[in-house]
Amino acid sequence: MNIPDNLLGEAWSWAAWAVWIPFFAFAIWRAPWARLKESEQLNVWLGMIVMLTVIWSLKAGVKPGLSMHLLGATVFTLCFGRHLAFIGLSLVMAGITVNGSAGFAVYALNSLLLAGVPVIISHAIFRFVEQRFPRHLFIFIFANGFFGAALTVISVGLVSTLFMGFSDVYAFDYLTSEYLPYFFLLGFSEAWLSGMLVTLFVIYRPSWVFEFDDSLYLAKK
């Protein structure tokens, strides 16, 4: 994660921009901007961007492009939906890029890996849980906040490993032994942090969680 400029060829950078631009434009078009007209919701959205910019700056790693950090993407997606979450996480990536923690030329690639992938995974898990499991508060918190967050981070680690391996930046043997396993540990930390925040939000500030409808999850419970 947080790939620097000199790690990949220009072809990868241009290809990533070609993918990221239409995705970002589509997110801007479909995002529920009316939600941010409320000052409280706007403050929460901006606050998450600032908080995650700080968290993403606190990374660990031994080689260029192989750093790792907490994501917070699951909480962001549950709170604001996939479109506003993707836009917000892309802004977080912009902040990380400006402070020198990632390359400008590969901004689109970093955004796809750290914003696009986790938002897609988080939303897919939410939709799966919503369709296959009863509407229950505990299920929402555990399946989305805890399990969903862990699976999202592990998925980002797997995608990053595959990308680094297929792009011949590092050998697969090295990645699978010295990089990918640590995402399982990171997933555990992400699960507890995200699960704790989702629990607090749905109990004390359910209006902050876009994907949580208290009339469905709490009525007659």
3-state secondary structure of 220: coil
* E strand or H helix that includes residue 15: helix 10-30
- For residues 67 and 79, give the distance between their C-alpha atoms in angstroms, rounded to a whole number: 26
pLDDT at residue 3, rounded to an integer: 82
Contact (Cβ atoms closer than 8 angstroms) between residue 114 and residue 68 = no
pLDDT at residue 8, rounded to an integer: 85
Q: What is the mean pLDDT of each run of 10 residues along the chain (221 residues)?
A: 81 93 97 94 96 89 82 96 97 92 88 96 96 90 95 96 91 91 93 95 92 74 52
pLDDT at residue 221, rounded to an integer: 52
Q: Is the pTM of this model over 0.85?
A: yes
pLDDT at residue 163, rounded to an integer: 93
Query: What CATH number does the domain containing 207 carry?
Result: 1.10.1760.20
64 contacts: CB under 8 Å, gap ≥ 6 = 3, 4, 6, 7
Q: Which domain covers residue 57, as residue numbers?
A: 5-217
* E strand or H helix that includes residue 123: helix 117-132
pLDDT at residue 148, rounded to an integer: 96
pLDDT at residue 10, rounded to an integer: 85
Question: Domain total for the chain?
Answer: 1
Contact (Cβ atoms closer than 8 angstroms) between residue 125 and residue 140 = no
Residue with tokens 């660990």: 60
